[in-house]
Amino acid sequence: MTIDVLTLFPDMIDSALSFSIPGRAQKADLVDIRAHQLRTWAIDRRGTVDDTPYGGGPGMILRVDVAHAALGALDHSHKAHRVMLSPDGELFDQSMAEEFATKKKLVILCGRYEGFDARIEKYVDQKVSIGSFVLSGGELAALTIIDAVTRLTPGVLGNAESLLEETFEADLTEYPQYTRPEKYRGMNVPDVLLSGHHAEIQKWRDSQRQNLERT
């Protein structure tokens, strides 16, 4: 799968994605993630990509002509799934990540400043938010989405990790897990986990999952 990110801060995307699972996935050629500088499609040699809002008000608005030109250059017959990031978009979740993971090509448009000229919505397929809070820009949202999508790409996770992923997808809740030391500052690992009794352990884990669902 190919993921193209349009941003004013491509280094933010490249550096964060060089680590951990997304880094490994790229090295193994399982995903191809490219961050593009939006200023490449600026209207002048100074690299202008934004302007003041019509009707007045604070801040700067990213120009529709610049964003449209960038989208056209990266995906000119509109074969990709185009996503723009905005705090007022559709809320990103695991099922959206699964859907994105089925796409051959994803283009992600990151906003900055006060946002985009509203007319850009005509040229994207979906407006997505990662939560009800306002970030300084779409880059961290793009990274969140790319991380969640990349780990679902076939071949990216090892066997053990994949199994864990299946559990997670079937049921977003998890049971509590413990490792050594057995006792830590008065807190003990539950006896059942030390019992070696697999059926009892499973029963306990299921009961803990239900507890989590209730909260």
Q: Is 141 in the site for ligand ADE (CB under 6 A)?
A: yes
| Beta carbons of 152 and 22 less than 8 angstroms apart | no
Stretch that binds ligand ADE, among 13-21, 128-136, 150-158, 206-214 (CB under 6 A): 128-136
Under the binding rule (CB under 6 A), the answer on residue 83 touching ligand ADE is no
Instruction: Kindly state whether residue 35 participates in binding ligand ADE, applying the rule CB under 6 A.
Output: no
135 is a contact residue toward ligand ADE (CB under 6 A): yes
* Shortest separation between residue 125's beta carbon and ligand ADE, angstroms: 15
Decide: is 7 part of the binding site for ligand ADE (CB under 6 A). no
Nearest distance in Å: CB 103, ligand ADE: 18
| Non-local CB neighbours of 45 within 8 Å, separated by 6+ positions | none
94-101 vs 139-150: helix crossing angle, rounded to 10: 70
- Bridge partners, residue 17, by sequence: none
Min dist CB 143 to ligand ADE, Å, is: 11
- Binding residues vs ligand ADE (CB under 6 A): 85-87, 111, 129-131, 133-135, 138, 141
